[in-house]
Homo-oligomer: A and B are copies of this chain.
Amino acid sequence: MATGTVDQDTTQAAIMDATYRALCDHGYADLTIQKIADEFAKSKSLLYYHYDTKDEILIALLEYLLDQFTVEDAIDPTDDPETQLQSFVDNLMPGSVSSEEREFQTALLELRSQALSSEAYREQFTRADDFLRETVARILENGIDDGAFRDVAVDEFAESIVTTINGAMLQRATTNSEATVPRTRDELQTRIQSVLLESEQSG
Contacts and interface: CB of A to CB of B under 8 A. Distances in A.
- At the interface, is chain A mostly helix, strand, loop or mixed? helix
Given A122-B176, A153-B190, A187-B153, A171 B160 contact: no
Contacts of A76: none
Interface stretch (A5-13, A108-116, A139-147): A108-116
Report the copy number of this chain in the oligomer: 2
A166 B174 CA distance: 11
A155 interface: yes
A184 interface: yes
B171 A183 contact: no
A28 to B, nearest CB: 9
B184 A195 contact: no
Contacts of A166: 166-167, 170-171
Contacts of A179: 155, 159
B110 A175 contact: no
28 contacts: A106-B117, A109-B113, A112-B113, A115-B173, A115-B174, A115-B175, A116-B173, A116-B174, A126-B176, A126-B177, A129-B177, A129-B180, A153-B186, A157-B190, A159-B179, A159-B187, A163-B164, A163-B180, A163-B184, A164-B164, A166-B166, A166-B171, A167-B168, A167-B170, A170-B170, A194-B194, A194-B198, A195-B195
Given A112-B113, A130-B177, 7 more contacts: A110-B113, A115-B175, A155-B179, A156-B190, A160-B164, A166-B170, A191-B195
List the 5 closest pairs (A to B, CB-CB), nearest first.
A167-B167, A163-B167, A113-B113, A166-B167, A115-B174
